[in-house]
Structure 1
Amino acid sequence: MDEVCKVYGRNGSAVAALREVSVALPAGAFTAVMGPSGSGKSTFLHCAAGLDRPTSGEVRLGGTALSGMSETRLTELRRERIGFVFQAFNLVPSLTVEQNVTLPLKLARRRPDRALLADVLERVGLSDRATHRPGELSGGQQQRVALARALVTRPEVVFGDEPTGALDTMTAQEVLRLLRRTVDELGQTVVMVTHDPVAASFADTVLFLADGRIVDALDAPSASAVADRMTRLGAYA
């Protein structure tokens, strides 16, 4: 991401959500993004993931520049090279676990690699739930289905938007440990927006946003260090 600005509205009603943000998110690492409400976290994620277009500046995925791409090409890129895990699980109620996990492949007209599918389901602890439907699963299990769906395409990056926001503390930590393991064992790149210092402590690096700018970064974060830095940003004031 290079000199990225995102402005909503025009003239007197214009609001700058991102202001000249330049950052390189390291491959094979877990990066958390935090900041007060209205700091630009979601806009940052949406621009980085090609879900929204910046007003100015350049976003790249690996060596691919996203600016100038048609909506069709952007959709294909997101489907083939990016995984998403949101606070809402976004599962299809009528489909089984296996069908939900392989849905991105079906949309891309790709045949599932059965060995990879089995490995992903085993990694998220759902091998024995493959034929169940979302309504038969707990919230934590549903989020693990969403994580498996994000991983099954072997994406270059998994973006998480408050992926543990709807889960209780213990279940959230299970999901965070799974994300951590995908980085450590598979070399997956994970970028997660969160408001939770404990969630952020699972990351390698935490980026702090305030007023649309990256104002600080913290490596090897502890929950207490993250909470302290957030307090000084005014998040809990």
Structure 2
Amino acid sequence: MIRLAQVSKTYGKGDNAVHALRNVSYVFPAGTFTAVMGPSGSGKSTFLHCAAGLDRPGSGSVMLGEVDLATLGERRLTELRRQRIGFVFQAFNLIGSLSVRDNILLPPRLAGTRADRAWFDQVVAEVGLADRLHHRPGELSGGQQQRVAIARALVTRPDVVFGDEPTGALDTRTGAEVLALLRAVVDQHRQTVIMVTHDPVAAAHADRVLFLADGQLVGHLDRPTPAEVAARMTHLDDRRAARC
């Protein structure tokens, strides 16, 4: 579904150059849940931004199906993101003046299309918002706002959903509920979810956890426990501290 081939990204030039990604290659199969972790400055955000078409790699290719994102102009890339990619961010990014219903329906409206009513009703029911559609974001809890964001990400039936620290602003119980929703999206609808997180408990909900360090993929764990993820992160942090 998503294929990165020899992707590199450098910010700045000369002595000020920062090599955020270095020849990263990876294939994300359809219908899987992948978490991406790494120490601060490891390239996680750049990895997500390049994979999701929010930023362009300096070299290499990012393929969504058979489409090379690097070959698209800004307008076509924007259209593709609206139609085929969903986003769930830590900050929710809801529009306060719109109702829950209108926030969820924003992507198809921006794309000039109509949402499938049956699918909309199913998504709303699954995220538990059927009785909140006419509320505004300010009238909801943080967990409910993130459920709105998840419904918004799913309403266009995208090929892949990207999560950028989707539980970072939530308490433990509410975060667990949101992660359970993302897990259900994969298990029940064969959706593809790629999530950047710093939380070993959140990462343990994924099928595979990828580890980045210094802009490179340095390993993975399949169906790990939170303790296994934490141990690997400690090793990466120790290795980074030793280099410093």
TM-score normalised by structure 1 residue count? 0.98
Q: Which residue number corresponds to residue 108 of structure 2?
A: 105
Pairing partner for 2:172 from 156, 169, 191: 169
Equivalent-residue separation in structure 2 for 1:64 and 1:186 (angstroms) = 23
TM superposition outliers: structure 1 runs of 4+ over 2 Å: none
Q: Structure 1: any 5+ residue segments left out of the alignment? A: none
Name the CA distance, whole Å, in 2 between partners of 1:24 and 1:85. 21
Matches within 5 A, 1:87-98: 87-98=90-101
Can you give the 5+ residue segments of structure 2 that lack an aligned partner in the other structure? none
**1:6-43 Cα deviation digits (max 9, x unpaired):** 00011221110000000001110000000000000000
Aligned to 2:72: 69
State the alpha-carbon separation in 1 of the partners of residues 191 and 126 from structure 2.
13
Q: 1:183 aligns with which of 186, 198, 216?
A: 186
Number of residue pairs matched by the alignment:
237
1:209 is paired with a residue whose SS is strand
Q: Secondary structure at the match of 1:234?
A: helix
Deviations 1:134-172 (A, max 9, x none): 011000000000000000000000000000000000000
Equivalent residue of 1:67, what SS?
helix
SS at 2:31's partner residue? coil
Over the matched positions of the two proteins, sequence identity in percent amounts to: 67
Task: Name the SS for the 2:54 alignment partner.
Answer: coil
Please say if 1:231 is aligned against 2:234: yes
CA distance in 2, matches of 1:150, 1:159: 9
2:45 to 42, 46, 49: 42
Counterpart of 2:221 in structure 1 is: 218
User: 1:173-222: per-residue Cα shift (whole Å, max 9, x none)?
Assistant: 00000000000000000000000000000000000000000000100111
Map of 1:26 onto structure 2: 29
The residue matched to 1:125 in structure 2 has which SS? coil
Once the two structures are TM-superposed, the CA of residue 112 in structure 1 deviates from its matched residue by: 2.0
